[in-house]
Structure 1
Amino acid sequence: MNIDDTETRVDIRIRSKGKVEHICPDCGCSCEGYDKRERTWQHMDFFDMECHLHCAVPRMECPKCGKVMLVDVPWAQENSGFTLLFEAKGVELMKEMPVNATGRYLGVTDKRLWRVLDKHVEERMKHQDLSELDRFYVDETSCRRGHRYVSIFVDEDHNIIFVTNGNDASSVARFREHLEAHEGKASNVKFICCDMGKGFLSGIKNEFPGAVVTYDRYHVIQHMSLAVDRARRHEWNVLREGGRLKDATKLKGQRFVLLRNVENLSPSQKERVDWILESHKEIGIVYGLKESLRDTWDYDSGYGAANHLLDWLITAERTGISALRDIIKVVDNHFSEILNWFRSKMNNGVMEGMNSVIQAVKRRARGYRDWRNLRTMCYLRGSGLC
C-alpha cells in the first residue's frame, strides 16, 4: 500500500501467488497464463483519500480454440475501471441524485457513471418475466424540447416494463417483441389502457387484436380541464377588452382553483370558485360540465354510465360554447373506449403514479440529450428490478 505525498490518494497493489489456471468460457479447456497485463480500478475512498487497486492480471490463451482472455478478478466486472463496491455505491447514489451530482461527489465524470448505470440496468432487466402479463398501460412523455417523445409501458403493479423511442404504431410493435422475448404472449393480453393518440390505437389493433382498449379517465379529464381553462381565458380577454381591468386581474390567477377537484378545495379556494361561477356564466357552465363528466366513472354499471355520458354530450353540444368543441369531439369519437373502463376497471391511479415518477426523473435531469438515458433512469427508478 502506498499513500502519496499530498495524502489525498491511496494505491494498493494486489499480487497473485502460485500458478494460475483458467477455464476457457467457450470450450471448457484448461488454460495457463503466458503473460500479465497491468490493470487499475478505482475503489471506495479510504479515510477520505481516493483509493485505487492495482494488479498485474494473468493473460491466457486457450490451446484448443485460441481464445485470448484475462483472468476474471473477484473485485470487479470485466472491462470495468471500478471495483464492484464502488459501482454499487454509485448506483445507490444515482437512485436518489442526478448523475452529474453523483459524479461530482465521487470525483468521476458522468459519462463513466452512465456506462456503469447502463450495464447495471441491462443486467437486471435480463431477468424480467412477463409471462403473466394480461394487461398494460401505455403513455407518452417528452424526452426533450422539440416534440421528441418516448413511449412508456407499465403493468398493473405500477412497474415500468418497457420504454422505447417514439409514440406511434412502431412503438407498440417494439413492445410486442420485448414482451415475447421475456416469456410473454400477445394473445394473453386482454386489456390495454392508453391515451387517445392514433398511433397507439393503430399499433394495438395490429399487435394486440384481441385486447379491449380503454381510454383512461386521467386523459379524458385532462382534455376537459383544457376546456375550462379556455373558457377562463376567453372571459379574461372579454373583460380586458371591455375595460374591466380589475375583474380581469381578479380572474387571471384562478386557473389552479378551477382545475382542482371540488373535494380538494380549501374553504378560501371554494369561495373564489363560487365567486367565479356566479360572476361568469360561461365559465360556470363549462365548470359544471367538468364535474358532471367526472361523475361518469361513479356509476355501478356501464349501462348507467353510457346514458349519463350521452346526456352529457347532448347538453354540452346545446351550449354552443366554443371552448367545449374539442372535448365534445373527444367524447363523441371515443365513446366506446371511455366506457370500456367498466369492463377492464383499469386503475386510473396507475397512470397518474407513472406520470409522477417520470416527471420526477425529468426534473432531476433537467432534460436528457439521449432518450436512452431517460430509459435507463425510468428502469432504475420504476421497474422494480433495479
Structure 2
Amino acid sequence: MLSEKARPIIEATAPVVAERIPYITPEFYKGMFGARPDLMDGMFSRSNQITGEQPKALAGSIVAFATWLLQHPDSYPESVLSRIAHKHASLGLQEDEYPTVYQHLFAAIGADLGDAATPEVVEAWTEVYWLMAHALIAMEKTLYAGAASDLPFAPWRVTAKEMTGGDVAVITFEPADGTPITDAKPGQYISIEVKVKDGIRQPRQFTLIPSKAGTRRIAVKLDPAGEVTPLIHEQLKVGDVYDLSNPYGDMVLRETRVPLVLASAGIGVTPMLALLEALVERESEREVIVLHADRNSSSWPLADEMKALVAKLPNARIETWFEEGDDGDHKGYMDLSQVNIPADANVVMCGPLPFLKAVRSQVVSSGHPAEKVFYEIFGPDLWLLQGTDEN
C-alpha cells in the first residue's frame, strides 16, 4: 500500500501526471531505446512505438495503478496487473530490466515536469512505480515457474499453412527440438518472433486455436500496413523454423454451470474456438450463445470450425451479423437487443477495440453486471477494464 507520506502527494499530482504522461512516455522510450537499442530486438514492437499505442498503454497502466491505490488502499488491481504480467512473460521480460525502465521513465518525467518535479513528487511516484514493478515481478516469477521449460522461447517448425476467410493464414507448428512443451490453457496465446527486413526480431502475439496434441496452431490476419504479418503471409513456408514462447494469457475457461455468451468480430474468433473446443472436450451441457460479426460470410475466418464446434454442444447456438449480403441472421453491426442474454451469463468478447466498446456498452446498458463481462484485446491494452477474466 502507499505510505502515508506519499498518499497526499499522489492525490494532488495524479491529475497532472495523468495529463502529462502521454507526452512523457514518447520521450521515455526515445531515451531508453537510444541507450538500449537492443531492447527493440525481440522485446518491443516497433509498430506500436510508431503508432503510439505502447506509450498510451504504459500511461494507462501507471495511472490506473496509482488511482487504484488511492481508492483501494488495501489491495492491488489484480486484473490489470495479471494482463500485463502475462504479456511480459510472453516476451521473456526479466526482473533486471525494471531498473532500466525506471531510470529512463523518471528522467523523462523530470524533464517534462521541470520545477514541478520536486524531490517529494519524484519520491512519491517512485514509490508507485516500485509497488507496481514488484507486484508484476512476483506474478511473472510465478508464471515462469509454471512453465515446463525455463527457456522463454523455443524453436518450432512449420508443418502446415493454409488460407481461410478474411485474409487469414492458419499455421501449424511442431517442436523443432527437445525443449519440454508447456500445456496451453484454452484461450491463451503465444508470441512468435519474426526477423524483419532490417534483421531485428519482432515479437507478435497470437491466440492458440484447436490443434493436435504436441502442436501449436495460430491464425494470422494480414495487416497490409503492418511490419510482421505481411512477412508471415508472404515468406513463412512449411519447413521453416520460428521461435515461439510458452503459452500465456489470463482469459481462460473455468468450470462453471452459468451460461456463456461468446461475442466476436473478425479475427476475434480465435479465442472463442479454443473455449468452444474445451467445452466440447468436457462434454459441457452449459448454455452457450455464440455471436459473430463480420463484413460478410466469406470474410468470416474459420467459420466452418466454429460451426462444427457449436454443433457438438447440446445447448449451444450461433447467430451472425454481416454488414454485406443477406446470408447472415442479422444485417449490419452486432445489436444485442436482438439477443436474449441470460441474466447470470458470463459474456466474453474479442475483436477490434470499437467493437469491444460498442458490445460492452450494450451489455452493461441492458443491466447486465459489469463484473460478468470479460474481454481479450490484441496488441497493447488501451482499455484496462476492471474484472477477472475467468469464464
- Using the size of structure 1 for normalisation, the TM-score is 0.24
Higher alpha-carbon Rg: 1
**Structure with more relative contact order (C-alpha pairs < 8 Å, separation 6 or more):** 2
